[in-house]
Amino acid sequence: MEEFLIEDQTSFYSKAEHYWKEVQPTVDGMLGGYGSISSIDINGSKKFLQKFLGEGPGKTRTGCALDCGAGIGRITKRLLLPLFRTVDLVDVTQEFLDKAQSYLGEEGKRVENYFCCGLQDFQPQPERYDVIWIQWVIGHLTDDHLVEFLRRCRSGLRPDGLIVVKDNVAFEGVIPDNVDSSICRDLSVLHGLISRAGLSIICEEQQQNFPEEIYQVHTLALR
């Protein structure tokens, strides 16, 4: 289905890059005008993630996390830096990463890398990350690129590491957004792509208490 929606892959990516270059480097800008939901989002993510963190067999360690589509570092600041010793950020927009370095404040000293790169081209360092957090960005990848990216992420995990995808979910099918040049997939499509990447869903939850007018948001833990 997606191939009918994305006729020109190069244009799909370049339009998205242009869109984000025009967005203000603020929390409200990162959330498309819904800055007010940031705390609800972070609290839900923290509750979800903490179920997997700790010491002992099968538990995910808290050494290093990767924030994908990090923007100015909203998730790094509120979720990842409080839980992990070090964090890396990757985003396609250099201005956002520049802003992150001041936005993160003193704790930003524990950020080891700021990678300016689209996820379709990003190569995580093998076995570097305990958690790879991918939020509100998979809609900017074609199906094939998402599958390939998830495979590379799997190689980037340490033992008992975890990939977390948190994103909008369509009610049915694949819905294009021509404003920011993205697509929104339904759960069955997303599940199929995760399976193609050779990953298993070990936990899935719907984010609660978001405004009714926006898409449902689901969080999936993958290994």
Backbone angles phi, psi at 57, to 5 degrees: -55, 130
93 exposure class (CB count in 10 Å sphere: 0-12, 13-18, 19+): buried
Q: Has 121 been labeled as part of a binding site?
A: no
- Count other C-beta atoms under 10 Å from residue 158's C-beta: 16
Question: 92 labelled as ligand-binding?
Answer: yes
Does 137 carry a binding-site annotation? no
Q: Identity (one letter) of the amino acid at 31?
A: L
Distance CA 80, CA 67 (A): 8
- Residues composing the chain: 223
* 120 among annotated binding-site residues: yes
What sections of the chain are H helices per DSSP? 2-5, 9-21, 27-30, 38-50, 74-75, 81-83, 94-103, 143-155, 187-196
d(CA 74, CA 31): 10
End-to-end CA distance of the chain: 26
Q: How many helices (H) and strands (E) does the chain have?
A: 9, 9
For residue 54, say whether it is annotated as part of any ligand binding site.
no
Q: Is 135 annotated as belonging to a binding site? A: yes
- For 56, phi and psi rounded to 5 degrees? 110, 175
Tell me if 26 is assigned to a ligand binding site. no
Residue 33 labeled ligand binder: no
Q: Which residues are annotated as a binding site?
A: 69, 74, 91-93, 119-120, 135
Q: Which residues are annotated as a binding site for S-adenosyl-L-methionine?
A: 69, 74, 91-93, 119-120, 135
